């Protein structure tokens, strides 16, 4: 299902400019290996337990060593029933500096997500469309199986994931002062309907709850410009 894909993603930790934190995600025969190191010759102790409060792997084993590889195909098969609309995401790794999500299709979204952090997308199975609102206007970018893309901070984006698709997204942990934006535009006149800015420590659960609250409130989900109501969308069928 998933062919050999390799990706290297490095971010310089803002609070320690001299320390380079590397996340290496290597896909080979359905396996993913996660490593984090500052000095390869030093003994690095685990900064937290093998499982964080979200219940997902951190990359460390219970004794402070690097955890064994995860068989990605087996993990996906065991957890896919938990990846449900509207976003259909689940943490694969939940580390101190980064978190990695697998996102299955279909999803059911008519919102845009925006934060100041950068996001790295890799498509493992099937093709998806990501609608962005950037300097070039409103456009749909097709991300095909085996391709990857980088979404800069400050760009509203809306992934559209059809059935039988699987993607991977890497994001950094948000600094305490950084917030998320959940944004809705009117599908009829393109007026801004709603922009909720909030601190989000758990993007899997908090974002879903914010979406559900918006769709359930007639006042929030009605366009102030033309009166069109934004409904809760059904999961994509293709």
Q: What is the pTM of this model?
A: 0.77
pLDDT at residue number 86: 95
Does the residue 222 lie in any domain?
Answer: no
Number of domains in the chain: 1
Does the residue 184 lie in any domain?
Answer: yes
Does the residue 46 lie in any domain?
Answer: no
- Where is 62: in which H helix or E strand? none
Does the residue 237 lie in any domain?
Answer: no
Give the Cα separation of 56 and 90 in Å (integer).
9
Q: Tell me the pLDDT tens digit for each residue of 169-204.
A: 999 988 888 889 999 999 999 999 999 998 877 888
Does the residue 115 lie in any domain?
Answer: yes
What are the residues whose beta carbons fall under 8 Å from the beta carbon of 84, sequence distance 6 or more? none
From the CB of residue 209, how many other CB atoms can be counted at a distance below 10 Å? 10
Residue 26 pLDDT greater than 70, yes or no: no
CATH number of domain containing 63: 2.60.120.10
Tell me the HSE value of 65 on the side-chain side, using a 13 A CA sphere. 4
Does the residue 203 lie in any domain?
Answer: yes
Helix (H, G, I), strand (E, B) or coil at 205: helix
Residue 11 pLDDT greater than 60, yes or no: no
What are the residues whose beta carbons fall under 8 Å from the beta carbon of 172, sequence distance 6 or more? 11, 97, 98, 99, 117, 118
Of 78, 101, 77, 76, which is closest to residue 89 (Cα–Cα)?
101
Query: Which residue range is the domain that position 188 belongs to?
Result: 5-37+51-216
Q: Tell me the pLDDT tens digit for each residue of 109-133.
A: 999 999 999 999 999 999 999 999 9
Label the pairing between strands 128-134 and 157-160: antiparallel
Which of 44-48, 83-87, 123-127, 152-156 has the lowest average pLDDT? 44-48
Does the residue 42 lie in any domain?
Answer: no
């Amino acid at each position: 299902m998933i062919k050999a894909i390799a990706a290297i993603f490095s971010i310089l930790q803002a609070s320690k400019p001299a320390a380079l934190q590397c996340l290496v995600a290597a896909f080979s025969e359905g396996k993913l290996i996660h490593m984090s190191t500052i000095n390869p010759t030093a003994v690095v102790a685990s900064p937290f337990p093998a499982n964080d409060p979200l219940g997902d792997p951190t990359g460390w084993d219970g004794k402070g060593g690097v955890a064994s590889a995860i068989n990605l195909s087996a993990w996906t098969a065991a957890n896919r029933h938990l990846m449900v609309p509207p976003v259909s995401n689940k943490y694969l790794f939940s580390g101190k500096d980064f978190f990695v999500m697998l996102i299955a299709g279909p999803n059911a979204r008519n919102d845009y997500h925006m934060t100041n952090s950068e996001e790295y997308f890799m498509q493992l199975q099937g093709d998806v469309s990501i609608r962005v609102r950037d300097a070039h206007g409103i456009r749909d970018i097709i991300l095909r199986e085996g391709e990857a893309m980088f979404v800069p901070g400050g760009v509203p984006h809306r992934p559209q994931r059809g059935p039988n698709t699987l993607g991977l997204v890497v994001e950094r942990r948000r600094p305490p002062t950084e917030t998320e934006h959940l944004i809705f535009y009117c599908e009829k006149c393109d007026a801004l309907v709603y922009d909720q800015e909030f601190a989000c420590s758990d993007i899997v659960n908090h974002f879903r709850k914010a979406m559900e609250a918006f769709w359930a409130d007639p006042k929030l989900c009605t366009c102030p410009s033309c009166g069109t109501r934004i409904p809760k969308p059904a999961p994509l069928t293709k």
